[in-house]
Structure 1
């Protein structure tokens, strides 16, 4: 009796393992970032993809806006520095008597 139950268990076990293995090999493979919803006829994709793209574009625009503001600030500082240098040159030439004002 024990012998027959052990043999039956051994025979059943490989079938269970084999049936479990088929489920693990049929897993759906996705690339990084795939949400599983393909874009409809060349469209922008599902709502998550559109939202993610919009937030990335917004972040890029914000960084570009900050860079432009920094550049404008540097340009105004350089223009002020050039104006100071020009005033200083005018002052030196007036003191030397090179120009009549």
Structure 2
């Protein structure tokens, strides 16, 4: 324990040369890319388009899976309705 305290005391504190902290606006991604504004805009557009395409494909796959589950549930409900109709027709015949 004494050893860790001595190490902490001997370390020099890190001080910034700037009095003000760097502040960025919302949406800033960092430093300017090489090639200027034009190249970063086309890269950002291409990246955004790629992300949008990926998200769209993912949503389409989710919709396909949900539609398949819905078909299976409808098929099951139709089978239950047919079974209920059979039971009603059999029970109705016995009661008369």
State the aligned residue count.
66
1:58 aligned residue (42, 53, 65): 53
Structure 2: runs of 5 or more not aligned: 1-23
Q: 2:78 — aligned with what?
A: 83
Q: CA deviation at 1:47?
A: 1.2
Alignment of 1:13-92 (within 5 A): 33-34=29-30, 36-37=32-33, 46-92=41-87
Structure 1: runs of 5 or more not aligned: 1-30
Going from structure 1 to structure 2, the CA distance change for 1:39 and 1:68 (only over 3 Å counts) comes to farther
- The structure with more radius of gyration: 1
TM-score when scaled to structure 1?
0.54
Give the 3-state SS of the residue equivalent to 1:62 in structure 2: helix
Counterpart Cα distance in 2 of 1:52 and 1:78: 39
Counterpart Cα distance in 1 of 2:69 and 2:41: 42
Q: 1:93 — aligned with what?
A: 88
Runs of 4+ aligned residues of structure 1 deviating over 3 Å after TM superposition are 31-35, 37-40
TM-score when scaled to structure 2?
0.56
Q: CA deviation at 1:49?
A: 0.8
- RMSD over equivalenced CA pairs, Å: 2.6
Q: CA deviation at 1:46?
A: 1.5
Q: CA deviation at 1:74?
A: 0.9
Greater helix fraction, Structure 1 or Structure 2: 1
